[in-house]
Structure 1
Amino acid sequence: MSETAPTPDDPFLWLEDIHGADALAWAAERTAETEATYASAERSALEARLLRILDDPDRLIVPSRHGDLLYNLWRDAENPRGLWRRTSRESFLAGTLEWQVLLDVDALGRAEGTAWTFAGAVHGPRGTGRALVQLSPDGGDATVVREFDLDAVAFVDDEPFALAVGKHRVDWLDRDTLLVATALDGGDTTDSGYPISARTWRRGTALGDAKTVLEGVASDVGVFAHVDHSDARSTAVVHVAHDFFHAEVWVWDAANTATDPAAPTLIAVPQDADVDVHGGHVAVRTKTPWTVGGTEYPSGALLVGSLDAVAGGDTSALEVVFAPTESTILEGWRWTRTRLVLTLLDSVCGSIRSLDPADGWASTPLHSGLGADDLYSTSVASTDADEDDALFLVTRGFLTPPTLVATDAASPAPRVLRASRAAFDPTGLTATQHFATSEDGTRVPYFEVGPAQRSGPLPVLMSGYGGFEHALTPEYPSIVGPAWLEAGRVFVVANIRGGGEFGPAWHLAALRENRHRAYEDFAAIARDLVARGVTTPERIGCHGRSNGGLLVGNMLTQYPDDFGAIVCGVPLLDMRRYTRLSAGASWIAEYGDPDDPADWEFVRTFSPYHLIDPSRDYPPSLIYAAASDDRVGPVQARKMAARLADETDAEVHYLEPSEGGHAGAVDNAATAALHATIHAFLDEVLTRPDRSRRAGAGREESR
């Protein structure tokens, strides 16, 4: 990637100084204006209601399992940053929960003067009694890592493993040795800001002296490491990601890494395939067709074979255990002790199947035990493949709260353990699936939730993503339900190309120069809703985050007449400079490289920041970001809001909370506040039919 000078006609480059005094002052002033604009008794009441839902003491607990113990992070009003805790599997299944608190994150923050956010824990191999706790100082992706003694219930103080703030990938080789992908002294990162090498680090030694096992180059996305300890084996696995979708996967026997490290072996499969190691097995999911020994395996197939054979170069040892159909694709998979469990999407709705490798991969459905009166998705919440075939499933629907089901992959007997309390009244609502025809004739599905009986057009809130092979499946709308649906409005989830709803091909169809297809799909759904009489253009709002923020940014600039309101969260918007901002260089494979003149010719056609036209009328917009977002960052949102306000007559509002990373707010109170403001904006813009767009409402001096 060549060095690029700033775009000469960009007057808002000063807003790219994330923590600069002028930029922060601008963001704080705009945020205060937005909060004042939408301050009302109704907004405060919604915020309080959403917070009660998020803090509900009876909400569903979805634990992670490690042996006979189940772990959970619990947040509530008294513990906004959370309690990391555990209970026995026996008491959890019996419903007699007895939690042991391991770490009070709020108390730790008070003691150390840093408002820590718990970002997970990496448990050591069975019998070690250790975990690596990850804590973010601001809710961003970068964390510190500290070794925790699970038996003593305290951080280790005798030669502990510890890492300063960074974007680490770390796992246990044994109790005294780690496999670490991290930066050293702020260096050793790729252009995308991720680790450039993987090392084996022995307790009591300096990280700088750790042996480098594999190393990438600056143009790679990064080097990512983990260790598989299944079936009494220890296999180190390192992914050297050349771009977001292509990686070399290296493995070695990690049993004696500390004393006699083995040389890594490359898994010789296509670099665009997904590779997963489990004990003596390796699983490979194809993203494009792959021919082996004269046999072509289709895109989206799952192949499994002997790790030793495949690592030795014998790819003929792989056999197909799942092949996609026109409507059914593989979303993911998990292992139990004797089974391989597949999560499938059939016309974008979820199901689970268990495969038996000892019986020719015979397939058995794993039912959730719920009825058929909703559109559902089901996922595997937790297993422990070293222990048994037991697993927890979570099933949810648009009108069905998340429900935890205990079952067994070898002897299915679903048992509903508990469900979340309903967040809203679903009376009179129905969930249906429809198809719109996109500009090139492709049929694009979407989910619609709203009143079963309607009279006249209704306000509609659309949600979409359309990128990185991420599928939007039925999800319980715990915020949209009480804030939007309960008032008799319509909620739509768009399954546009670029996502993974129909496997890798659905994603590849909207990659790079074909990005316009995702936007044409979304606009086609909006127009289909109008054609079906569900709504009218001025009553359609859309909300997207991250890549979804780029989506709705293009709705704002390319399809302004099809929408009445735009909510754009933590977005990519300046596609001329996105590779220079935060982790943007890691997404070149998805969007293209704007530093390459040939790529810029198509990238500029979906760069909302550059598509702003002062002569056009735009619908009102609310743009939000977070200064502590270290993945996309706040600067593209800042610049878009500033340019719209300065150069057009558009009504534009901006929010930038002081905390919270790309994934969301740091606590339930901040989440409730953000969404209360979003829905106050949507209420004013979309649900008052006598309200016209306020010309010039957003124009202001930008600095």
Structure 2
Amino acid sequence: MKKTFLVILLAIMTQVIFAQDDPYLWLEDVDAGKSLNWVEQWNEKTLKVLMSQPGYEEMYEKDLEIYNSTDRIASPSIIGNLVYNFWQDEEHPRGIWRRTPLQSYLSGEPHWETVIDVDALSKQDNEKYVFKGASGLYPDYDRFLVNLSKGGGDAVVIREFDAVSKVFIENGFYIPEAKGSASWIDRNTLMVSTDFGDGVTTSGYPKQVKIWKRDTDLKNARLVFDGQEDDMGIWGYTTHTKDKTYQIITQRTSFYTGSYHIIENGELVKPDLPEDIELSGIFNKQVLLSLKSDWNIGGNSFKQGDMISIPYADLIKGGTNYQLIVRPDERSSIAETNATKNVLLVNMLTNVKSELYKYTYNGTWQKEKIDAPELGNISLGSADEDSDTYFFYFQNFLMPSTLYKGDAATGQFVKVKALKSWFATEDYQVQQFEVASKDGTMIPYFVVSHKEIKLNGKNPTLISAYGGFEVPRLPSYSAITGTSWLEKGGVFVLANIRGGGEFGPKWHQAGLKENRQRIYDDYFAVAEDLIARKITSPKKLGISGGSNGGLLVGVGFTQRPDLYNAVVCAVPLLDMKRYNKLLAGASWMAEYGNPDIPEEWEYIKKYSPYQNLKEGMEYPEVFFYTSTRDDRVHPGHARKMVAKMSEMGYKVYYFENTEGGHAGASTNEQRAKMAALQYSYLQMKLMN
């Protein structure tokens, strides 16, 4: 006990000393007048330079035309017997939530009925609302719980909405702004995870779940689960079927570990499951589970990356009747799943390319491949719970997104709509290479270039990567990248470095905590290979990344400034000494480690960009951007990095959008501006 107390005291003293040594700590006060004045001055300086670059205005207008184009796919969400869609354009900058019957949608010229006009609602309430989705009351979907963010942050207000009269219900369910959620149990009962007034976790997420009855006070709702302050967060949710409403609570002790609890007959049941297992859904009374590590159970040896199932009735009784559904190999992984009435759809990645499969269950699992488009990226869309109708999308670097409607029972599908191409894709090529990282692991990456590219080391080249949280980076079509970069003579590179989910949990876990440097070594290996192939050279090479990708590029230019001449660092983590003290930062310690533990700070401090800035280096002129309303990654990271670099005499660029949340923008105008600023900077540094 005494030793534990001394460790805690030492950590606190270290934090106090560090805070005193950080002259830019005041920039963490997001809305302080001094901070906002600083932001305004930097915005003015940066916009003056970037908006005056040749071609900026034309680029902005083209970007806005792309974002506002009515030729976009109206992404369908099947809810009951209707298709819902959220749409933003020039006339509706904040958007409209609208609906139409399925047959009308499939006609090609649907007659849309506006359900919620977010622009009108924002004007009425004098708030800059951002629509964050809605959950309907099964099975009639005449009521919804609508999530509205004030400025685009993760925190939302939840309001009950009558979908028949199309009005918010006076004295209906209302949950104040918080990083919470709510699910329907029945018409008069909700399962709610929010800040009930008793505080939240250190990550800023709910630590309690309550059952709330209509016409009672939220604070008096019945407590069904009470977590710990140092949990990442506690969430409750429901899954509705014709037979049963499943009530599930997940207690996340970290980003990748936790436990599941099920309310059955009013009692809380905790299944005996590995702490890193992921409950992927319930289909045909089978609970679907994804394994992040090997598991021996019931005489079966399941492997890391497997998807398995168990009957719900067995699970809550402590049974071990698990069955294997999918087992990926070393170069494949499960990207996503979805389910229709009778079919489980599984989207697989094989060497970073998609393959679609259907699974049916009748005591055992039967597998069949769907003859979907190949050599690209499939993403599953909405599925109908009352039939086998579903939607999916296909795209690659040179093929715009195409929407298909499928019949999961037969495996047949038809094209619904294909986006037009905004640039001459027939002039370009895609190549996939791989390179050995420092430890010998082969790292794949894609290169998109003009077919007549000259390998002379003079091609302006941009690398995009992420490398974290088991998030895969997949081939995708970008009209903005095509018109603002490829058509201007640029080369685009997508690097599939470790830390992502391209090859399953093992690929991700290889870069956790003390092994983080492997991710950065992968990143540098790709850059060096591009240079060795004479595709580009350091003077012509740029990198861009956001969030964890912002940390990636921050490490990139502080560890290897010799490799790059341009860096776009968006909504980044950079101060890894204090990241766990800022907003949702504590929830990411399973990814990066805890800087308050001396042994873990020992490896974090070796790459933390803010702490590793040095005077007298030849850093590229970095462009940082973030949002005042980002309530996930604190804008203080970017602010302090800019202040410190500027004080050291480095030339940098900085722009902070006053709204937009972690996405950095809320409207198409803001998105067009951010894109134009980014490519204006890249062209200035790598092309001009």
**Please, what TM-score do these two structures have when normalized by structure 1?**
0.94
Give the C-alpha shift of residue 327 in structure 1: 1.5
Q: Please show how residues 347-386 of structure 1 align to structure 2 within 5 Å.
A: 347-358=351-362, 360-368=364-372, 370=373, 375-385=375-385
Give the C-alpha shift of residue 6 in structure 1: 5.4
Cα distance in 2 for residues equivalent to 1:361 and 1:432: 37
Amino acid at match of 1:442: T
Residue of structure 2 equivalent to 1:605: 606
Does residue 1:39 correspond to 2:43, yes or no? no
Deviations 1:538-576 (A, max 9, x none): 111000000000000000100100111110000000000
Give the C-alpha shift of residue 588 in structure 1: 0.6
Q: Please show how residues 392-407 of structure 1 align to structure 2 within 5 Å.
A: 392-407=391-406
The number of residue pairs the alignment matches comes to: 672
- Partner SS state of residue 553, structure 1: helix
Amino acid at match of 2:588: W
Residue of structure 2 equivalent to 1:696: none
1:285 and 1:301 in contact (8 A); partners too: yes
Pairing partner for 1:298 from 303, 315, 326: 303
Cα distance in 2 for residues equivalent to 1:128 and 1:299: 38
Alignment CA distance shift 1:128-1:91 (3 Å): closer
Cα distance in 2 for residues equivalent to 1:536 and 1:230: 57
Residue of structure 1 equivalent to 2:273: 269
Cα distance in 2 for residues equivalent to 1:512 and 1:49: 42
Pairing partner for 1:25 from 29, 37, 40: 37
Give the C-alpha shift of residue 10 in structure 1: 1.3
Alignment CA distance shift 1:6-1:146 (3 Å): farther
1:43 and 1:677 in contact (8 A); partners too: yes
- Partner SS state of residue 662, structure 1: helix
Cα distance in 2 for residues equivalent to 1:666 and 1:367: 37
Residue of structure 2 equivalent to 1:547: 548
Deviations 1:101-139 (A, max 9, x none): 001100111111112111110111112510001111111
Pairing partner for 1:54 from 67, 70, 80: 67
Deviations 1:158-199 (A, max 9, x none): x300011111111000011000000024x4200000000100
Pairing partner for 1:111 from 124, 147, 165: 124
Deviations 1:430-464 (A, max 9, x none): 11211011111110001111112212331101101
Pairing partner for 1:194 from 190, 202, 205: 205
2:626 and 2:664 in contact (8 A); partners too: no
- Partner SS state of residue 663, structure 2: coil
Cα distance in 2 for residues equivalent to 1:113 and 1:635: 27
1:350 and 1:473 in contact (8 A); partners too: no
Pairing partner for 2:77 from 59, 64, 74: 64
- Partner SS state of residue 616, structure 2: coil
- Partner SS state of residue 527, structure 1: helix
Give the C-alpha shift of residue 409 in structure 1: 1.2
2:497 and 2:522 in contact (8 A); partners too: yes
Does residue 1:130 correspond to 2:159, yes or no? no
Cα distance in 1 for residues equivalent to 2:651 and 2:376: 38
Residue of structure 2 equivalent to 1:94: 107
Greater shift in the superposed pair: 542-551 or 14-23? 14-23
Residue of structure 2 equivalent to 1:695: none
Cα distance in 2 for residues equivalent to 1:232 and 1:56: 43
- Partner SS state of residue 536, structure 2: coil
Residue of structure 1 equivalent to 2:585: 584
Cα distance in 2 for residues equivalent to 1:24 and 1:321: 53
Give 5+ residue unaligned stretches, structure 1.
254-260, 689-703
- Partner SS state of residue 351, structure 1: strand
- Partner SS state of residue 146, structure 1: strand
1:143 and 1:168 in contact (8 A); partners too: yes
Cα distance in 1 for residues equivalent to 2:17 and 2:233: 25
Amino acid at match of 1:447: F
Residue of structure 1 equivalent to 2:312: 307
2:79 and 2:141 in contact (8 A); partners too: no
1:367 and 1:414 in contact (8 A); partners too: no
Does residue 1:336 correspond to 2:355, yes or no? no
Give the C-alpha shift of residue 536 in structure 1: 0.5
Pairing partner for 1:228 from 231, 239, 248: 239
Deviations 1:626-672 (A, max 9, x none): 1100001200000011111111x432111101111002310110010
Give 5+ residue unaligned stretches, structure 2.
1-7
Residue of structure 2 equivalent to 1:160: 172
- Partner SS state of residue 15, structure 1: helix
2:391 and 2:406 in contact (8 A); partners too: yes
1:408 and 1:414 in contact (8 A); partners too: yes
Alignment CA distance shift 1:232-1:96 (3 Å): farther
Give the C-alpha shift of residue 215 in structure 1: 1.3
Deviations 1:82-112 (A, max 9, x none): 0100010011112230101001100111111
Residue of structure 1 equivalent to 2:155: 142
Give the C-alpha shift of residue 478 in structure 1: 2.4
Deviations 1:493-523 (A, max 9, x none): 1100000000000000000000001100011
Residue of structure 1 equivalent to 2:5: none
Give the C-alpha shift of residue 247 in structure 1: 1.4
Amino acid at match of 1:284: L
Residue of structure 2 equivalent to 1:208: 219
Cα distance in 2 for residues equivalent to 1:515 and 1:427: 39
Amino acid at match of 1:70: V
- Partner SS state of residue 400, structure 2: coil
Amino acid at match of 2:303: P
Amino acid at match of 2:326: F
Cα distance in 1 for residues equivalent to 2:379 and 2:316: 30
1:191 and 1:219 in contact (8 A); partners too: yes
Give the C-alpha shift of residue 226 in structure 1: 1.1
Does residue 1:470 correspond to 2:475, yes or no? no
Residue of structure 1 equivalent to 2:484: 483
- Partner SS state of residue 268, structure 1: coil
Residue of structure 2 equivalent to 1:698: none
Give the C-alpha shift of residue 488 in structure 1: 2.5
Does residue 1:241 correspond to 2:240, yes or no? no
Give the C-alpha shift of residue 294 in structure 1: 4.1
Amino acid at match of 1:135: L
Does residue 1:288 correspond to 2:293, yes or no? yes
Give the C-alpha shift of residue 359 in structure 1: 7.3
Q: Please show how residues 286-685 of structure 1 align to structure 2 within 5 Å.
A: 286-314=291-319, 316-358=320-362, 360-368=364-372, 370=373, 375-385=375-385, 387-455=386-454, 456-457=456-457, 458-647=459-648, 649-685=649-685
Cα distance in 1 for residues equivalent to 2:70 and 2:205: 38
Amino acid at match of 2:186: D
Give the C-alpha shift of residue 213 in structure 1: 0.5
2:182 and 2:191 in contact (8 A); partners too: yes
2:622 and 2:652 in contact (8 A); partners too: yes
Cα distance in 2 for residues equivalent to 1:45 and 1:125: 48
2:298 and 2:322 in contact (8 A); partners too: no
Cα distance in 2 for residues equivalent to 1:366 and 1:508: 30
2:298 and 2:321 in contact (8 A); partners too: no
Give the C-alpha shift of residue 268 in structure 1: 1.5
Alignment CA distance shift 1:130-1:235 (3 Å): same
1:86 and 1:100 in contact (8 A); partners too: yes
**Please, what TM-score do these two structures have when normalized by structure 2?**
0.96
Amino acid at match of 1:309: D
1:181 and 1:197 in contact (8 A); partners too: yes
1:277 and 1:307 in contact (8 A); partners too: no
Cα distance in 2 for residues equivalent to 1:66 and 1:238: 24
